[in-house]
Amino acid sequence: MRKEVIAIDGGKICSLPRAQQRIGEHLQRMPAEDADLDAALGRVAFADITAEKPVPAFAESTRDGYVLPPCDPGNGARGFRIVDEIAAGRVQPVERLAPGTACRIMTGGVVPAGSERVVPHEQCVEQDGRVTVPEHLLQARASYIRQAGSEIARGERLVGEGVRLQGEHLELLSSCGMHAVTVAARPAVGYFCTGSELKTIAAGLENGQKVSSNSFLMAGILPSYGVSLKDFGIAGDTFEEISAVFARAGEWHGDVMVSTGGMGPGKYDLVEKAFLAAGGVVFFTGLAMRPGRSILFGKLGRTLFFGLPGPPYAVRTLLHALVGPALLAMQGVKQTGPKKMEAYLLHPLEVKHHEVLQLKDGVLVLSGGRCGVRLAGRLESPNCHILLHPGCSWYGEGELIEVHLVGDPLIS
C-alpha cells in the first residue's frame, strides 16, 4: 500500500502544534470591561482581583454565648452582669464593656471593641440578669472571636489574571464587598454553514435536503468559550452566496468568524476562493491531522477566520482543538488547551491511516479502579479525544494512551 506523504510546516499545511502557534501569533487580547457580579459567571478576570474589604469585616463571635471584657481570673467562678444582647446582623454597635459586665452574643454577632473572649452559653449559668462563668473558661486559650481580616486581608489577591470566574469565585468576591469586577470583553463570534442542500428546521425539507445540524453544534459549543454569537445563516454552494456572507462579515467587524463546509477540493468547495476575493489573508489551509486535512485559518480585516470542514465530528473536534483555545487566549486565559492525561485502552485499536496524527472521539470511564478509555459509540457524546500518533498502527488492550478531555473548557 502506498503511503501518503504530506509536506508540513513548509507552507500551507501545518502540524497541530505549529497551527496552534500560528493562530497565537495573530490573536489580539480583548479589552477590559466592568461586569456586575451577578453577571460575571464564566467571564475572565482581566487583571488580578484583590479584596476591597477584609474578611471578616469586623470581629465576630464564633459561638452563641457571652462576650466578656478583659479580666484577671481569680480563684473559682466569676459573675458578670448582663448589660445587652448582640444578635447576628445587629448594626447598632455596643459600647466597650465595663469591668464586671457581659453581653449575650450570637454566632456572627459583632464583638464590642476591647472584648477579650466569648464563653459558650452551655458552659455558663445565667440567673437574675447575671451570668456565672467557670474559672477554666476564663483561662482557656480559645477566645471564640474571629478577628477582622483574620481570613482575608484588605488588598489580598483573590483571583488571578486570566482565571474564568466560577461560582466559588463569586461567593468569595461577594464576601469581600465586591459588587463588580473587571473582565475581558466577550469575543464577538459569527458563524455560518455552507451547502445548497442545507435548510433550517423551520423551512421544511424536500427530497435531497438536510437540516443544517452544524448550526446547532456551533451554537451549542461556542458559547461555552465565553463569546457572544451572531448567526450568519446558511450559504449555498455558489461563489456569490458565500461572497455575500463575507461582505456582511466585513461590515460587521467582529472578532472571529467560523464556517463549516466548502473546504474540500471539489467543484463546489468555494470558501477559500470567496475568502481571498473578499480580501482575506490565508495563514494555513490544512493540518497534518485527521480531522483537519481541509481547514483554513486566515484574517479578513480585523476578523480572524476559521474555515472548518463539513462533517459534524470534524467540526466538533476542531472547535475544541483549535477554535475554542484561541477564544480563551483572546480573553487572557493562560492555560487554554484541553486537559491532557493518560488512560488505559479498554479494547484493541487498529489505525489504518497512521501517517499523520489522528484525534478520535472517546469516552473516558472508571473501570476496575482506574481510568479507562474506549472509542465513542455512534450515538454517544464523547468526553475526550484519543490521540493516535503517527507511525503507530496498533494499540493493544490495556495499553496506556494519551487523551485530551473535551466537552467543557472550564476543566482546563
Kindly report, residue by residue over 43-97, the tens digit of the pLDDT: 999 999 999 999 999 999 999 999 999 988 777 889 999 999 999 999 998 999 9
pLDDT at 202 over 80: no
Instruction: Say which CATH number the domain at 224 has.
Output: 3.40.980.10
Q: How many residues does the chain have?
A: 412
Domain-embedded: residue 8: no
The residue from 146, 170, 202 where one domain ends is: 146
Whether 117 and 229 share a structural domain = no
Whether 179 and 192 share a structural domain = no
Measure the CA–CA gap between 278 and 265, rounded to whole angstroms: 20
Domain-embedded: residue 6: no
Instruction: Say which CATH number the domain at 141 has.
Output: 2.170.190.11
> Which pTM does this prediction carry?
0.84
Whether 210 and 316 share a structural domain = yes
Amino acid occupying residue 200? T
Whether 200 and 166 share a structural domain = no
Domain-embedded: residue 49: yes
Q: Which residues of 297-331 are buried (b: 16+ CB within 10 A; e: fewer)?
A: bbbbbebbbbbbbbeeebbbbbbbbbbbbbbbbbb
Whether 283 and 407 share a structural domain = no
Measure the CA–CA gap between 63 and 155, rounded to whole angstroms: 28
Q: What is the pLDDT of residue 82?
A: 97
Whether 252 and 300 share a structural domain = yes
pLDDT at 9 over 80: no
Measure the CA–CA gap between 211 and 276, rounded to whole angstroms: 28
Q: What is the mean pLDDT of the chain?
A: 91
Domain that holds residue 104: 60-146
Kindly report, residue by residue over 150-200, the tens digit of the pLDDT: 999 999 999 999 999 999 999 999 999 899 999 999 999 999 999 999 888
**Residue 299 corresponds to which cell in the numbers above?**
484574517
Measure the CA–CA gap between 227 and 10, rounded to whole angstroms: 33
Whether 213 and 231 share a structural domain = yes
Instruction: Say which CATH number the domain at 371 has.
Output: 2.40.340.10
Instruction: Say which CATH number the domain at 179 has.
Output: 3.90.105.10
Whether 241 and 263 share a structural domain = yes
Domain-embedded: residue 4: no
Per-residue DSSP letter, 250: H
